[in-house]
């Protein structure tokens, strides 16, 4: 059977490059005679959309959730970040009661309850996909989005998934959309902020996302020739403080800094260590940036500041590399759809090359391979022994690599 | 007497444009046959410098604190932010015991004590200025730096002061160096982050510096056509929430936002209002961005995020307008020094023009004139009745205007 | 009479900031209950639009030329350069035969012929304005657009004009929209290209627009601390070459450069002077950048390159200052329309303040006042005696200043 | 033997990333106890340097040409483009009489003459290298620099070469330093200039470097979803014009554009075709941008402009990818030097991975593989069949691939 109609959705946190994927899927799909249906707000579009008989406005589609896409509507979107389809963190197989679609009859919803207060709306999603007439679904997202993509594919809806996350920690691929732009923005911000560190002769901590994996910190450090600490490698706090003080003294501009993944922590360090623990409560977890600044001030006696690299890293247009990967992932996805037969796969970079792999299991983020990628002694990326490695250095596909079970498909 | 030797220093928080002032003073001064002596770390340079007989390294100057400047050393500095001279918040007339220079004999220091534990090192500063042979001092800073500049000028050291602060709240001038670059950076950051707000359909709060005065929030709102709240005008929280929700609904991209000065607060609002007060403690004051986000979530039921515009606004090279004003302030300062006779004045923009005014009294920041500059009803800058106003709109010199005492000098 | 319907059009070369004017006019006008009708392609919209009876598509307006504007259509346009209304260089009073609207009957057109092959379509324009029901016209443009604005105003159509041009050479105003962004872009490009000049140890010539007036070169030189040559001041070629060679020798990075207005020329210089004159033909006039590079190579024996600052200077989003002025000009224009009675005026900056002035006569561009603004001896902007000058330094309104005839309106 | 002293030089046109290589070589080499000697102005440093006995200033090294490097001198250079060592196009084996070092005795020079007026200074270079005590030479450059690197290596001086060129057309490697930054800058410039094309409803031609190879045009087109023409594929001019007109009509913003390599030409096209041939003379070759604009105007009757992407593409700081590759190439080079034994090799990306290959023969630039990389029918990059390709898509190493003779070294 040839696909006639492709659905597309984006889930999880937005990153630059999502719109490039959407545009490229639309342009390429229309070339091969396929329609593309945009599903809005991630999986919520497929749980909450109303059918024609419930729409006061008439029409076949619930425009709150469903938007047919064409070239005109997507022509310029690749020049902006974010996702024109909006996004959400909905997981249809684990919906809480307060998130259920209100237009669905209570008794029908009751049938979806799996545990107390947890509903699995997969039957509803499948019905809606059938209603929309989708032959294929292209999903773009991180861990959560990917995991439900696998569920759906196993339920009989052919899915091609495209990984995105600034953390770059999706298993099975060396690259996720949004990662390069995040590094580009972080590099620019850090290099700009050197002058304010130097003017005040401070030690800086640049906190960057990455609760489980340190790729963002590590690669930003690589391209700025900086120190970094990452979640995968608890560090010696005394040594770090002493290195930062030495760096500052050796620097004619009298500053130094370290890039810290939000999940990094020193050896033996716990949140409770630095008093007034309940002050931080459940609302705001103490962050390593704040904690490190306290340590630098108290134990090293140096002025220090915590600069958080947050929303700006996921804002704005994608950089060239993200644009290239986003476009290419999209085109390979449509190539696969056109050729038919292949589904339940995730676009990936494997060993430096475009590939597709099984959609990874959730809850097991890819980690930095500390032995080959990080120099714990110097708080730096590993610069030696790069020969034979892929352009972006990351040969490791994470702990799940061996367990992928199926061979990587990478046709020449 | 003709000035032969000019000292220059920078104090307070750094902003882009300081280096442009330094370079222009050096280039212009050398043209008229003056030497320029860079004093490092603001006033600390004049309290902590050692004289020749105490220097183990030999030489006339203590290079930790004193650096003669020339064209080669300052040739490229105008292309970077910050200050090559470093900066500090030292106030020589109010030094605490733990900040005193250790090489000064204890009995000498004892003579400087004015109140318990508070020392006035002005005699030492005057001695050091005499030792350095400075005929004039050019000081670049905000409130604190300016106030001691006035003290010193009254003590017989001719001073020309140049105002800088991102807050733009120095009395007596419509413009302070660093302000335009801050607006430029804020505008870029906000426009970039629109996509992530829209992708997630959120209401954004962009918190921007300005504890006492709302110029930064107001002007950023002006150039981004946005809502803002400022310290000078406590606002109706319910109305703001309702306006933000309406904005979001009216926006096809489904987001809205407000720019909040850090000192803004709603009517009747106090920090104690939103529980767990002691959780925020003395370490981190609750900020209005965080507080507003809580209110939006709880009372308006909308997803919201707080994006802080912090170090990036004071980082990087100055924008064109800051570069122009910095260069011009510096050149007028040296013109005044060359002509002689005029001192104890601050460079300023008055009624849209370059002027010099008395150095303002400290502790009385300039405020936004709410009546003519802000539309409290719409949470917007005032766009009407701009005819006759200066290019940068700000005709008001703040509450101290009438009290300036001396006429503004602005020779055609 | 109260205005109910405002027409708006953009003419001449595009600059960043035009869309900000359009948006602000629309937002402000709708606030006071006015409709805004966008006229596309400058004056061509008013000469070439078809009326309802000629439109195959039906509807009241010829969408090729006429587009009613509202807030939704203009919401995001201020974030991009250019003009959403398109632009042209049409002058309705001087149309050549091949540019006439083809749908207008030949005999009617014949009545418009004023000289052989030159037509004055003003009667047609007036009819179309009446057909559109426009009570006021806001026109945004340079010399040509402004001149026909005056004609039209004198023919009974109330017009408010807004000056734009990167050259900043419109008489009667110290500032035209697009100027600041051009300087911002030029500064960035020049500072970036320093490294390639230095790597190759070259002398650079940065050619910048400005055939009649040197404002662009002068202000770019001001903010980059550079040499410049401008049309208003023919220069001593030998001296310039010798200064550039000296600059290069004195520079540790071994380069130097000059910014040249396209209309600058050395004393006694003419195009014919440097051989193969007919080689340059009518198609491409020899430019001073190319000519200077030849002179540097041949006479100074130095490697040199000509870097042209062209389209990029008018591209992209407006900088903060342009955004501020564009928004303010638009708001004052609508304020004037709302108050009524005032027309035939151009928005302006006069003596550093927002004002409105008579629409200037065409063909007499404002020039740099060499005596006070340029240092011919040093090929530099004049940095001295800036006290009392407006923020942007330019007190001079050009040669037409005295002849403006009517007093400047600038109500406090 | 262990290397104790490494020489480093940069040749040919500068690109962003050279300084990153220099810094990384210095940092890494000092770590393994090596000195690094900077040779200035490419090979000219080794032909023109004076020895100690000829230096009036004294010292061992001729500072015009030789500068020992250390961490302090190179600490900040990776944040700027260009090369701190300066560069030249000198080829020591083919020096013309007027470029010979004047301090070398005439009879000695006479011995170097190989053909009339052409000198091979290799013996002098070898002597100077011996004088400098260099155990290894790291050379960074394009075709010319690489070719003499091979000569020198065969003469007994161990050389490791690092490829750089914006054209990305060095044989044997899929990536050359400077390429990614050029694409990044070109993308930004093109996206910015869309508004001015649209405002004037024009067809744009963006001319980009690439006389022999179309990589720059092709990759810029890839990431901007644009049309391009490249030297490797003479195109059907009529079809291109018709496609551009169609694109413009289909675009709501009413513009279209093509990116043209400077070496692209239409089928049957020659320079003589478009009149006044001698007007362009030998000084300025007619460029395809200009020629295409003429064709678009004359034959398609559309307004068109030629925007040249020139110096800005090689200016400013390297982008993240160039920084990463530059740092990694440098580190692998020093790893090889440390391990010893390997020389006469060029750093490369082969099949998406870091490798080293024989230094390629000169005069045979790598070309775009039209069959797999370009869609001549659509004037677009090939978007299909990317599966299995390296991240940057370019699996092809050019026509010289098969002839490389030696196996690629890429140790895991």
Contact C222 B27 (CB under 8 A): no
| DSSP label at residue D286 | P
- Which pLDDT band holds residue A95 (cuts at 50, 70, 90)? very high
Q: Is D341 on the interface with A (CB under 8 A)?
A: no
Residue in chain A nearest B84 by alpha carbon = A199
Question: Over 50: is that where the pLDDT of A331 sits?
Answer: yes
Specify the pairing of strand B256-261 against strand B345-350. unpaired
Decide which of B282 and A337 is more confident: A337
- Options A167, A169, A287, A319, the catalytic residue: A167
- Chain D residues with CB under 8 Å of A384 CB are 331, 335
- Which pLDDT band holds residue B1 (cuts at 50, 70, 90)? low
Q: Answer yes or no: are the C-beta atoms of B152 and B122 closer than 8 Å.
A: yes
Contact D391 A353 (CB under 8 A): yes
Mean pLDDT of chain B: 91
pLDDT in tens, B278-334: 333 333 456 899 999 999 999 999 999 999 998 999 999 999 999 999 999 999 999
Contact A225 D327 (CB under 8 A): yes
How large is the C-alpha radius of gyration of chain A? 23
pLDDT at D395: 53
**For the purposes of burial, counting CB atoms within 10 Å of the CB of B388, is it exposed (0-12), middle (13-18) or buried (19 or more)?**
middle
Active site residue C167: yes
Q: Answer yes or no: are the C-beta atoms of B159 and B336 closer than 8 Å.
A: no
For A207-236, b/e burial (b = at least 16 CB within 10 A) is: bbbbebbbbbbbbbbbbbbbbbbbbbbebe
Q: Answer yes or no: are the C-beta atoms of B382 and B403 closer than 8 Å.
A: no
Between CA C386 and CA C388 the distance in angstroms is: 6
Partnered with residue B205 across adjacent β-strands are B258, B306
Residue B285: CA atoms inside 13 Å, Cβ hemisphere, count?
7
Between CA B144 and CA C154 the distance in angstroms is: 57
Other CB atoms within a 10 A radius of the CB of residue C109 amount to 17
Best A315, A318, A319 member to test B by mutation, with max B CBs in 10 Å, is: A315
Residue that has been written with the tokens 């303002």 in this structure: B360
Token pair recorded at residue C402: 């005295």
Q: Is A315 on the interface with B (CB under 8 A)?
A: yes
Q: Report residue B372: phi and psi, to 5°.
A: -105, -15
| DSSP label at residue D305 | E
Nearest to D321 by CA among A179, B258, C203: A179
Q: Where on the phi/psi map is residue A379: left (φ > 0), alpha (ψ -120 to 50), or beta? A: left
Between CA A79 and CA C26 the distance in angstroms is: 26
Q: What is the largest CA-CA distance in chain A?
A: 73
Strands (E), C243-398: 256-261, 304-309, 345-350, 353-358, 374-375, 380-381
Partnered with residue D160 across adjacent β-strands are D138, D345
Dihedral sign computed on CA atoms, order D242, D244, D249, D254: negative
- Which pLDDT band holds residue B402 (cuts at 50, 70, 90)? very low
Q: Answer yes or no: are the C-beta atoms of A311 and B193 closer than 8 Å.
A: yes
Q: Give D54's contacts (C-beta < 8 A, 6+ positions apart).
A: D62, D103
Between CA A23 and CA A45 the distance in angstroms is: 19
Q: Answer yes or no: are the C-beta atoms of C369 and C168 closer than 8 Å.
A: no
- Chain B residues with CB under 8 Å of C323 CB are 187, 223
| DSSP label at residue D216 | H
Contact A82 B305 (CB under 8 A): no
Residue C59: CA atoms inside 13 Å, Cβ hemisphere, count?
12
Q: Is C390 on the interface with D (CB under 8 A)?
A: no
Specify the pairing of strand C374-375 against strand A5-10. unpaired
Q: Where on the phi/psi map is residue C201: left (φ > 0), alpha (ψ -120 to 50), or beta? A: left
Contact A384 D354 (CB under 8 A): no
pLDDT in tens, B224-281: 999 999 999 999 999 999 999 999 999 999 999 999 999 999 998 875 443 333 333 3
Between CA B218 and CA B232 the distance in angstroms is: 11
Between CA A205 and CA A258 the distance in angstroms is: 5
Between CA C155 and CA C157 the distance in angstroms is: 6
Instruction: Write out the DSSP string of C316-355.
Output: SS--HHHHHHHHHHHHHHHHHHHH-S--SEEEEEETTEEE
pLDDT in tens, A49-75: 999 999 988 889 999 999 999 999 999
Q: Report residue C40: phi and psi, to 5°.
A: -90, 150
- Chain B residues with CB under 8 Å of C328 CB are 383, 386, 393
Token pair recorded at residue D27: 């940092």
Best A40, A89, A182, A196 member to test B by mutation, with max B CBs in 10 Å, is: A196
The SS3 of residue B126 is helix
The catalytic site residues of B sit at 167
Between CA A347 and CA A333 the distance in angstroms is: 7
Q: Is D199 on the interface with C (CB under 8 A)?
A: yes
Contact C200 D87 (CB under 8 A): yes
Q: Is C145 on the interface with D (CB under 8 A)?
A: no
**For the purposes of burial, counting CB atoms within 10 Å of the CB of A113, is it exposed (0-12), middle (13-18) or buried (19 or more)?**
middle
- Chain D residues with CB under 8 Å of C67 CB are none
What is the interface size between B and C, counted as CB pairs within 8 Å?
151
Long-range Cβ contact pairs of D239-243 (< 8 A, separation 24 or more): D240/D266, D240/D379, D241/D295, D241/D296, D241/D299, D241/D300, D242/D300, D243/D378, D243/D379
Between CA C296 and CA C293 the distance in angstroms is: 5
Chain A: give the shortest CA distance to residue B384, in Å. Answer: 32
Instruction: Write out the DSSP string of A226-294.
Output: -EEE-TTS-B-HHHHHHHHHHHHHH-TT--EEEEEETT--BTT--GGGSS-HHHHTTTSPPPHHHHHHH
Instruction: Give CA separation, B210 vs A75, B170, B216, B219, in Å.
Output: 41, 12, 7, 12
Q: Give B41's contacts (C-beta < 8 A, 6+ positions apart).
A: A201, B48, B65, B85, B86, B87, B88, B90
Specify the pairing of strand B159-163 against strand B136-141. parallel
B321's enclosing H/E stretch is: helix B320-339
Q: Is C201 on the interface with D (CB under 8 A)?
A: yes
- Chain C residues with CB under 8 Å of B183 CB are 320
Contact D392 A390 (CB under 8 A): no
Question: Over 80: is that where the pLDDT of A386 sits?
Answer: yes
Q: Report residue C186: phi and psi, to 5°.
A: -65, -45
**For the purposes of burial, counting CB atoms within 10 Å of the CB of D105, is it exposed (0-12), middle (13-18) or buried (19 or more)?**
exposed
User: Does the predicted TM-score (pTM) go above 0.80?
Assistant: yes
Q: Is C192 on the interface with D (CB under 8 A)?
A: yes
Percent share of chain A, pLDDT over 90: 84
Q: Which strands, in side-by-side order, build the sheet including C227-229?
A: C227-229, C256-261, C203-208, C304-309
Q: Which strands, in side-by-side order, build the sheet including C95-96?
A: C95-96, C118-119, C113-115
**Which chains sit next to C, with 3 or more Cβ pairs under 8 A?**
B, D
Q: Answer yes or no: are the C-beta atoms of D347 and D353 closer than 8 Å.
A: no
A residues 85-104 closer than 8 Å to B (CB): 86-88
Question: Over 60: is that where the pLDDT of B398 sits?
Answer: no
Residue that has been written with the tokens 């079970």 in this structure: A405
Q: Answer yes or no: are the C-beta atoms of D346 and D360 closer than 8 Å.
A: yes
Question: Over 90: is that where the pLDDT of B407 sits?
Answer: no
What is the interface size between A and B, counted as CB pairs within 8 Å?
105
Between CA D177 and CA D10 the distance in angstroms is: 12
pLDDT at B286: 66
Which residues of chain D, if any, have pLDDT below 50? 272-284, 397-408, 410-412
Question: Over 80: is that where the pLDDT of B112 sits?
Answer: yes
Taking only the tens of pLDDT, chain C with its 412 residues reads 577 999 999 999 999 999 999 999 999 999 999 999 999 999 999 999 999 999 988 889 999 999 999 999 999 999 999 999 999 999 999 999 999 999 999 999 999 999 889 999 999 999 999 999 999 999 999 998 999 999 999 999 999 999 999 999 999 999 999 999 999 999 999 999 999 999 999 999 999 999 999 999 999 999 999 999 999 999 999 999 999 999 999 999 999 999 999 999 999 887 544 333 333 333 345 689 999 999 999 999 999 999 999 899 999 999 999 999 999 999 999 999 999 889 999 999 999 999 999 999 888 899 999 999 999 999 999 999 999 999 987 655 443 343 333 444 544 3
Chain D: give the shortest CA distance to residue C273, in Å. Answer: 16
Q: Answer yes or no: are the C-beta atoms of C404 and C344 closer than 8 Å.
A: no
Nearest to B162 by CA among B2, B311, B46, B25: B25
Q: Is C14 on the interface with D (CB under 8 A)?
A: yes
Question: Over 70: is that where the pLDDT of A395 sits?
Answer: no
Partnered with residue A261 across adjacent β-strands are A208
Q: Answer yes or no: are the C-beta atoms of C379 and C235 closer than 8 Å.
A: yes
Chain A: give the shortest CA distance to residue D44, in Å. Answer: 31
pLDDT at D3: 78
Nearest to D135 by CA among D33, D17, D21, D49: D33
pLDDT at C280: 30
Token pair recorded at residue A306: 């915590």
Mean pLDDT over A217-231 rounds to 97
pLDDT at A402: 35
ipTM computed for the complex = 0.93
Question: Over 90: is that where the pLDDT of A1 sits?
Answer: no
pLDDT in tens, A132-170: 999 999 999 999 899 999 999 999 999 999 999 999 999
> How many residues are listed for chain D in this entry?
412
pLDDT in tens, A293-311: 999 999 999 999 999 998 9
Instruction: Write out the DSSP string of D173-205.
Output: -S--BTHHHHHHHHHHHHHHHHHHHHHHT-EEE
Nearest to B164 by CA among B353, B17, B335: B17
pLDDT at A50: 97
């Amino acid at each position: 059977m040839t696909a006639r109609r492709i659905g597309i959705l984006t889930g999880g946190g937005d990153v630059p490059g999502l719109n490039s994927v959407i545009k490229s899927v639309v342009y390429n799909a229309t070339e091969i005679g396929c329609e593309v249906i945009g599903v809005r707000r991630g999986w919520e579009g497929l749980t909450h959309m109303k059918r024609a008989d419930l729409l006061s406005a008439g029409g076949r589609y619930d425009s709150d959730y469903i938007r047919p896409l064409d070239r005109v509507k997507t022509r310029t979107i690749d020049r902006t970040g974010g996702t024109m389809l909006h996004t959400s963190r909905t997981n249809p197989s684990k919906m809480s009661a307060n998130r259920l679609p209100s237009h669905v009859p209570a008794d029908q919803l009751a049938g979806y309850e799996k545990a107390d207060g947890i509903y699995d709306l997969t039957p509803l999603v499948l019905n809606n996909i059938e209603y929309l007439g989708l032959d294929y679904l292209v999903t773009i997202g991180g861990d959560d989005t990917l995991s439900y993509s696998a569920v759906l594919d196993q339920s009989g809806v052919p899915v091609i998934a495209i990984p995105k996350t600034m953390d770059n920690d999706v298993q099975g691929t060396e690259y996720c959309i949004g990662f390069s732009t995040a590094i580009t923005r972080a590099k620019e911000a850090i290099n700009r902020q050197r002058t304010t560190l130097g003017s005040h002769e401070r030690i800086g901590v640049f906190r960057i996302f990455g609760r489980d994996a340190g790729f963002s910190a590590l690669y930003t450090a690589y391209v700025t020739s900086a120190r970094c600490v990452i979640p995968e490698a608890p560090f010696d706090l005394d040594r770090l403080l002493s290195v930062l003080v030495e760096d500052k003294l050796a620097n004619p501009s009298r500053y130094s800094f370290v890039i810290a993944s939000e999940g990094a922590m020193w050896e033996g360090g716990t949140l409770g260590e630095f008093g007034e623990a309940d002050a931080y409560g459940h609302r705001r977890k103490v962050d390593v940036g704040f904690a490190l600044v306290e340590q630098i001030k108290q134990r090293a006696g140096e002025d220090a500041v915590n600069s958080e690299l947050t929303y700006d890293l996921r804002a704005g247009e994608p950089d060239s590399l993200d644009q290239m990967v986003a476009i290419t992932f999209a085109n390979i996805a449509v190539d696969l759809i056109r050729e038919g037969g292949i589904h339940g796969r995730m676009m990936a970079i494997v060993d430096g090359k475009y590939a597709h792999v099984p959609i990874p299991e959730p809850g097991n983020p890819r980690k930095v391979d500390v032995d080959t990628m990080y120099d714990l002694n110097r708080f730096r990326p590993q610069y030696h022994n790069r020969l034979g490695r892929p352009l972006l250095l990351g040969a490791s596909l994470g702990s799940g690599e061996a367990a992928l079970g199926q061979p990587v498909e990478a046709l020449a």
